[in-house]
Amino acid sequence: MVAKTSVNLSGVYLDNPVIPASGTFGFGKEMAEVYDINILGSISIKGTTRQARYGNPLPRIAEGSCGVLNSVGLQNPGVDAVVSTELPELRKIFRKPIIANISGFSIDDYAYSCEKIDKEKQVEIIEVNISCPNVHNGGMAFGTSPDMAAKVTAAVKKVTTKPVYVKLSPNVTDIVSIARACEDAGADGLTLINTILGMRIDIQRRKPVLAQKMGGYSGPAIFPIAVRMVYQVAQACHIPIMGCGGVATAEDVIEMMMAGATAVQVGAENLHNPYVCKEIIEQLPVVMNRLHIDSLEDIIGIIK
């Protein structure tokens, strides 16, 4: 029997659940020179903001033995350039569903960019990243407050027609309360987890490794944390989840789906091995047959 790898994200059908995570795959064009990206289930494009951003000062990426620390700072050309240039160019080479990742620094920013991206036929799902600082409210991150998470979700839903998935920050004490707040405010789905706040120090130079001192930590070391949070949220909410955080193998994809994810994003591993998504997709049916899994939809959230 041929293993069935297709999944359904809020009415958007993917041939397989493997999605490069935002910020690790650019706008797709770069990786199209490495392999045929049409084997992917979807692509979550580089995080986009209302205005163009250069990002944070260098150095802003540091590789470690078990992951990557980064403080890139949402470098992107701005939503207008993404709409006019990046999305049309990606659509020329990629025929699968596209996920637009939107970030902001105020509720108005989120609403503006999401409303604009919602009009683009190339985009099937909008992913709202709520781990950016809210500079209009004392710098508090949207993703650490259930109330603020609900407000940004509701504001985006008012101006969009496409499925909205809210990407949650793991840097909280209770991710379930924030996930529920987003669901109650109308989110169609959730993405978790984003990077974990970390820091490294260069003991020779006696200075932080990153210019911003702290950054987001991702890679295999955070996989068990991601699985735990996906499981907790899946038990508490009734909307689909895109799971991410340290995914590097086909076995990781299946484990994340058993915890409750409908689709799985691959992040930091793309930076270490540009072929990883291709390898996972090729290995997925092999692993499924070995584990006697006929369809991936049969294993979503089987751990109770």
**Beta-bridge partners for 199:** 214
Mean pLDDT, range 205-227, rounded to an integer? 95
Q: Strand, helix or coil at 154?
A: helix
pLDDT band at 229 (very low <50, low <70, confident <90, very high): very high
**Structural domain boundaries of the chain?**
7-59+74-199+217-298
**Rounded Cα gap, residues 254 and 299, in angstroms:** 8
Residues identified as active-site: 132
150 closest CA partner among 127, 171, 130: 130
> Structure tokens of 256?
């994340």
Which pLDDT does position 66 carry in this prediction? 87
Q: State the pairing for strand pair 214-218/68-70.
A: antiparallel
Model confidence pLDDT, tens digit, residues 142-172: 889 999 999 999 999 999 999 999 999 999 9
Beta strands in the chain (DSSP E): 7-9, 12-14, 18-20, 43-44, 61-63, 68-70, 98-102, 123-129, 133-134, 140-141, 164-167, 189-192, 196-199, 201-202, 207-208, 214-218, 241-244, 263-266
> Structure tokens of 32?
């199209």
Kindly report the pTM of this predicted structure: 0.96
Angle between helices 107-118 and 146-158 (to 10 degrees): 30
- In CATH terms, the fold of domain 7-59+74-199+217-298 is TIM Barrel (3.20.20)
